[in-house]
Amino acid sequence: MTVEHVEWSGDDVVRHLRASPVFSRLADDALAAVAQCATVRMVTAGDAVMIEGEPGDEAFVIIAGRLDVLTRTSNGGQKTVNTVGPGDVVGEMALMTEEPRSASVRARRDSALMCIGADDFRTIMVDHPSVLLDMTRTVMGRLNQSIHDMQPEGTRTVIAVLPAGERPAHYEFASGFATALQQQDAGSQVSVEAVSAERARRDLGDDATTAAIAEYLHHVEDRNDVVVLIGETGNAEWTELCRRQSDVGLLVGYADSLREYGDYEQDLETAGGDSVQLVLVHDATQPTATAEVLSLRPCGRYHHIRRGSSDDIARVARIVRGSSVGVVFGGGGARGFAHLGAVRAFQEAGIPIDHVGGTSIGASVASTVAMGLDLDGMIELLRWVTFDRGSIVDSTLPTVSIAKGRRLSTAMHEGYGDIDIRDLWMEFFCVSADLTEGDVHVHRRGPVWEAVRASVAIPGIFPPMRSSDGHVLVDGGVLDNVPTSVMRSVFAPARMIAIDLKAPSALPSADIPDSGFVSGWKVARHRAAPWRDGMEIPGIIETLIAASTISGAAKDIDADLVIRPSVAEYGFLDFASWEQIMETGYQHTVEALEASTLPV
């Protein structure tokens, strides 16, 4: 553990002890005794404070900053089981039980820790039983959390806005970002305070120590809901300190300047995962080359915004603060036009959409939302890839499938062009069924048209698609027709809305023979004779479509609001009724939103 020993007055130590729930009930003389045996240290973000399995010789009271508590996983990795902040105590269990450390602790931010040695700790326990009682409550709370496999990431209250690329855009972004954060909660004002290098110098002077800055930022955080730390171009030391003091750092730059590092960015120590995210600011109408930009930076997440767009900045604010809204669109053939009616209802109700995902036609709808199209553009593109070119089932000799798939693939390639998923304005995924592995395949990169084409490849009707590793991919509805679990694991929205188009398949059955034998020639002759009534027997396409969605539709839908439009009267291929289907989706969503208690 890299530490900096800090000189702290006895009064300061007592003040921090009194703020800790574990020591708050001690009398003044007892607090003074504890303070006398404690030392204060600074640890740097990323440093290990404790290591699981090692003997414990100290307990730590957090004065300022945040620490992550981690345990080993079965595959040898680590998972975060808790995030603790000022007033919390860590390391006490090993001292109480005289057993090795049961977890590792790592500094999430630069942190000030009050350290109490094992002998002094045990003396405190004996002399002041109330401390032992409060300590036991703390331990039991963590144990209960572990039993229920809770993995809190901690509230993101300190966010660093950092320069990126040769043309950083963080100053302009920080102003709009702070405004967006203030408007996060409907009906209440969120207090947000921004701290720049200039302000810190004004408040602390030019020679402030790391410990003094940590204490200063702790006080700023204590009086606000959110603190925005603003990096300074050309000042790598301050910029890196902002990142270390934050729960999440946002690297912000103009997209066309991010293919190279800026001078100040060269020295910025970035970390993987979601602790550092990238914001690409665009003047152009469509993001491009995002994959190349991401290859330079180990960022867990990235966000595209249009220059000057308050709506886009607000989306980033919701995602970073953990208040975002995700929408999942289910599969259902022509019934998928109901999704567009739902989107219209969301727009009219002022419900933001921050991440989208879907299966089959739901994947296609989700992609149009992520592209940033208006409702007319979404309708136009969805019509183009479904029925504007005539039937998408271009028959061929059924050795692989009934349809060649050329008409469908061509329509999708022409409709989407070569847009990569990473170049969509909004976070997007879609799913297909991996027949090679027997599992859900999640599409997060590569051409949009290929991902959607795989997601709609109904087995037996359209040819399967091949993944980059040679796996066979078909319609995602085979395994998960409304992939809410994927949305939760990939984007973790605070609120999730799912639109389920599952409805009974009105398949005719009166003329299905009891023998189980059916002559295709006989059925064809019967259907070709105009003077005869149609046979009440399902066709191969209807049967394959219905069969392909049964398994995926059987899953429980884990969402805050599940909307189920009444679309049973429309067939999977009833594209001629798209306007009525869309209106049905709109009306049903309006009613569902009015009846819902979903906070938005």
Structure tokens at 49: 């404070």
Question: Which among 360, 367, 432, 455 is annotated as catalytic?
Answer: 360
What one-character DSSP code corresponds to residue 341?
H
Question: How far apart (Å, rounded) are the C-alpha atoms in residues 49 and 67?
Answer: 9
Q: Tell me: the pLDDT tens digits for 307-362?
A: 999 999 999 999 999 899 999 999 999 999 999 999 999 999 999 999 999 999 99
Q: How confident is the model at residue 154 (pLDDT cuts 50, 70, 90)?
A: very low
19 alpha-carbon distance from chain centroid? 34
Q: How confident is the model at residue 76 (pLDDT cuts 50, 70, 90)?
A: confident
Question: How far apart (Å, rounded) are the C-alpha atoms in residues 393 and 221?
Answer: 60
Asked whether residue 74 carries a pLDDT value surpassing 90, the answer given is: no
pLDDT of residue 80: 83
Structure tokens at 450: 């290929």
What one-character DSSP code corresponds to residue 516?
S
E-assigned strand segments in 435-563: 439-443, 465-466, 472-475, 495-499, 561-563
Asked whether residue 88 carries a pLDDT value surpassing 80, the answer given is: yes
Question: How far apart (Å, rounded) are the C-alpha atoms in residues 70 and 78?
Answer: 6
- Taking alpha carbons only, the member of 183, 262, 280, 268 closest to residue 225 is 183
Count of Cβ atoms closer than 10 Å to residue 308 Cβ: 11
Q: Tell me: the pLDDT tens digits for 208-222?
A: 877 788 778 888 988
- Of 37-51, 135-149, 343-357, 372-386, where does mean pLDDT reach its minimum? 135-149
pLDDT of residue 5: 44
Average pLDDT over residues 520-532: 58
pLDDT of residue 395: 84
Average pLDDT over residues 185-200: 82
- Of 239-243, 281-285, 340-344, 523-527, where does mean pLDDT reach its minimum? 523-527
Q: How confident is the model at residue 525 (pLDDT cuts 50, 70, 90)?
A: low
Burial class (CB in 10 A: 0-12, 13-18, 19+), 164: buried
- Taking alpha carbons only, the member of 228, 179, 170 closest to residue 200 is 228
Residue of higher predicted confidence among 529 and 451: 451
Question: How far apart (Å, rounded) are the C-alpha atoms in residues 523 and 517?
Answer: 12
Q: How confident is the model at residue 149 (pLDDT cuts 50, 70, 90)?
A: very low
Average pLDDT over residues 133-152: 55
- Taking alpha carbons only, the member of 215, 226, 164, 165 closest to residue 191 is 226
pLDDT of residue 99: 85
- Taking alpha carbons only, the member of 2, 1, 107, 102 closest to residue 45 is 107
Residue 110 a catalytic site member: no
536, HSE (Cβ side, Cα atoms, 13 Å): 5
Residue 475 a catalytic site member: yes
Phi, psi of 437, rounded to the nearest 5 degrees: -95, -15
Average pLDDT over residues 56-85: 85
Q: How confident is the model at residue 17 (pLDDT cuts 50, 70, 90)?
A: confident
Question: Which among 134, 312, 354, 475 is annotated as catalytic?
Answer: 475
Burial class (CB in 10 A: 0-12, 13-18, 19+), 101: middle
Asked whether residue 6 carries a pLDDT value surpassing 50, the answer given is: no
Q: Tell me: the pLDDT tens digits for 453-478?
A: 999 998 888 899 999 889 999 999 99
Question: How far apart (Å, rounded) are the C-alpha atoms in residues 278 and 162?
Answer: 9
Average pLDDT over residues 521-535: 59
Give the mean pLDDT of the chain.
84
Residue type, 228: V
Q: Tell me: the pLDDT tens digits for 531-565?
A: 556 666 665 666 666 666 665 555 678 899 999 99
Question: How far apart (Å, rounded) are the C-alpha atoms in residues 259 and 294?
Answer: 9
Average pLDDT over residues 13-31: 73
Asked whether residue 176 carries a pLDDT value surpassing 60, the answer given is: yes
Contact between 465 and 473 under an 8 Å Cβ cutoff? The reply is yes
